[in-house]
Amino acid sequence: MPELPEVETTVRGLAEVLDGAILSSVVPRRADLRRPIPVDLGQRLTGARVTELWRRAKYGLIGTHRGDTLIFHLGMSGRWRIDPGEIGKHDHLVMTTEAGRTLALNDPRRFGSLDLIATDALPVYPAFMALGPEPLGAEFTAEYLADILSGKAAPIKAALLDQRTVAGLGNIYVCEALHIAGIDPRSPAGSISRPRLTALVAAIRQVLEDAIRAGGSTLRDYARPDGELGYFSKQWRVYGREGQACPACQGPIRRRVDSGRSTFDCPSCQKR
């Protein structure tokens, strides 16, 4: 499943092709993904100039000079293909630019989504209304975390996965960041000291930035005909490494399952 860093590198890859481009055709090839695709999406985007590309949580946004923004979510299996040799049955949206480039949104499982809304209405887009700050943004600080977690008895891991606390963090990155910060995932969120919250904010930024850098090098490989954007592999410290050596203390990494999700941590390095 694409996580925040994959969406970020996807948006950067799309920007190489789309920033400033005029869309000569935009064609949805089915009526829905997880939700219906707006019926006028192709018409409103065709002929428009792309003015801006950015990311919010795990959504990619493409703004045009007409005051519309295309919002895409990659779901479980979505990816953009740049200049695909031929259009396949899982390519659900195909865009061409005046410069002769083609982009196809490919999503075999169709858990992704496509919306087109007025850029002015973004603050009231339902998926964005309850989102916390961006983890790589200036608002996400130890002071902010101390404030929002104050008095909360929920485990810190659950609090960080709650999108109202911080936007776009998934299970992998939360496990990795808690390991770097030396915090037991079960620690009550409101009990963590300010210095440890400072370490946690730094660790969250580090794991995301490392992953974006890893995807960045892949992107250069992918930014070519028949390339794809959206996925890369990364060596994790604890995630998916049950029983293997902790990179810090060499002790065995532990896996626990809670509400259907796996938590990986190091019992020696991570304390309440």
Binding positions for Zn ion, rule: CB under 5 A: 246, 248-249, 251, 266, 268-269
- Is 8 a residue of the active site? no
- Identified catalytic residue from 2, 28, 84, 135: 2
Give the tokens for residue 25: 């055709």
Largest pairwise CA distance in the chain = 59
Comparing CA positions, the residue from 253, 211, 255 lying closest to residue 233 is 211
Q: Check: CB of residue 28 under 8 Å from CB of residue 92.
A: yes
- Identified catalytic residue from 44, 152, 205, 261: 261
- Is 6 a residue of the active site? no
Which amino acid, residue 254? R
- Identified catalytic residue from 12, 55, 58, 81: 58
Nearer to Zn ion, 7 or 156 (CB): 156
**Residue 248: CB minimum distance to Zn ion, A:** 4
Task: Count CB neighbours of 43 within 10 A.
Answer: 11
Comparing CA positions, the residue from 17, 38, 165, 158 lying closest to residue 95 is 17
Nearer to Zn ion, 79 or 237 (CB): 237
Comparing CA positions, the residue from 118, 127, 95 lying closest to residue 38 is 118
| Sign of the alpha-carbon dihedral angle for 170, 135, 197, 155 | negative
**Residue 155: CB minimum distance to Zn ion, A:** 19
**Residue 28: CB minimum distance to Zn ion, A:** 49
**Residue 238: CB minimum distance to Zn ion, A:** 9
Rounded to an integer, what distance in angstroms lies between the CA atom of residue 69 and that of residue 76? 22
**Residue 68: CB minimum distance to Zn ion, A:** 49
Nearer to Zn ion, 14 or 238 (CB): 238
- Is 271 a residue of the active site? no
- Is 195 a residue of the active site? no
Nearer to Zn ion, 43 or 244 (CB): 244
Nearer to Zn ion, 29 or 186 (CB): 186
| Cβ contacts of 75 within 8 Å, gap of 6 or more | 1, 33, 34, 107, 109, 110, 111, 112, 113
Catalytic site positions: 2-3, 58, 261
